[in-house]
Amino acid sequence: MKVIEFWFSIGSTYTYLSVTRLTELGQNNLVKFSWHPFSVRKIMQQMDNIPFPPSKKVKLDYMWRDIERRAEMHGLEAKVPAPYPLKEFDLANRIAIVGMEEGWCAKYTRATYRRWFISSQEAGLEPNISESLKEIGQETNRIIKLANSEEIKNKYSKQTDIAVSKGIFGSPSFIVDGEVFWGDDRLEHAISWSKKSKN
């Protein structure tokens, strides 16, 4: 089965749509997604890019309305605006890195996004962390300790370096045969691309 790489940062708003749509789209299209957390914030800082400064309030308002309409189009729940930006962006993602190492990255990411976008519980903070980990059968104290370890911090940093080396600059990004597709609105294109290639 064809594998599409799904690169994401918890904290990215549009990523909610992808996280929520991926399982069904994968089943319907016979493709598999591999989940790769990284720090989009670090990449944006390297590019001197601030996502939504106050001078861009119009754009920020547009983003929430666009997400609301697209969620509706896809039949998904979304209570917007969700808390934003995330105060503990890196912790939320380092937990996903632990999950990547232990095999529950997708489950955790779906659980934490659902609480963030449906229950307005900010990802990376309590009670979102504990409740999400409990839901997927993980023990909070052990995971937080790991997420704050040097080993996981290094792994997170390395993941981000790999993302950069692949030409990624935003979340979500999909990679198919070396082609980067950026944005939840490119997900269908990435899937159709995966079908026309041979490998």
Do the Cβ atoms of 38 and 173 come closer than 8 Å?
Answer: no
Do the Cβ atoms of 31 and 181 come closer than 8 Å?
Answer: no
HSE-up of residue 139 (Cα within 13 Å, Cβ side): 4
Could you tell me the two tokens for 49? 């890019």
Least distance in angstroms from the C-beta of 119 to a copy of itself? 27
Among the residue ranges 47-55, 76-84, 118-126, 128-136, the one whose residues contact a copy of itself (CB under 8 A): 47-55
Q: How far apart are CA 134 and CA 25, in angstroms?
A: 26
Least distance in angstroms from the C-beta of 42 to a copy of itself? 14
Residue type, position 170, single letter: G
Least distance in angstroms from the C-beta of 57 to a copy of itself? 9
Residues 6+ apart with CB under 8 A from 28: none
Q: Which of 23, 24, 27, 56 binds a copy of itself (CB under 8 A)?
A: 56
Residues 83-122 within binding reach of a copy of itself (CB under 8 A): none
Strands of 173-176's sheet, edge to edge? 31-37, 2-8, 173-176, 179-182
Per DSSP bridges, beta strands 31-37 and 173-176 are: unpaired
Is 5 a binding residue for a copy of itself by CB under 8 A? The answer is: no
Could you tell me the two tokens for 190? 């990435």
Decide whether 56 or 79 has the Cβ nearer to a copy of itself: 56
The three-class DSSP label of residue 83 is: coil
Least distance in angstroms from the C-beta of 181 to a copy of itself? 8
Q: Which of 23, 34, 47, 158 binds a copy of itself (CB under 8 A)?
A: 47
Residues 136-195 within binding reach of a copy of itself (CB under 8 A): 167, 169, 179-182, 185-186, 189, 192-193
Least distance in angstroms from the C-beta of 158 to a copy of itself? 19
Query: Cα angle vertex 12, ends 64, 73, to 5°?
Result: 45
Least distance in angstroms from the C-beta of 179 to a copy of itself? 8
Note the residues at the interface with a copy of itself (CB under 8 A): 46-49, 53, 55-56, 58-59, 61-62, 65-66, 69-70, 73, 167, 169, 179-182, 185-186, 189, 192-193
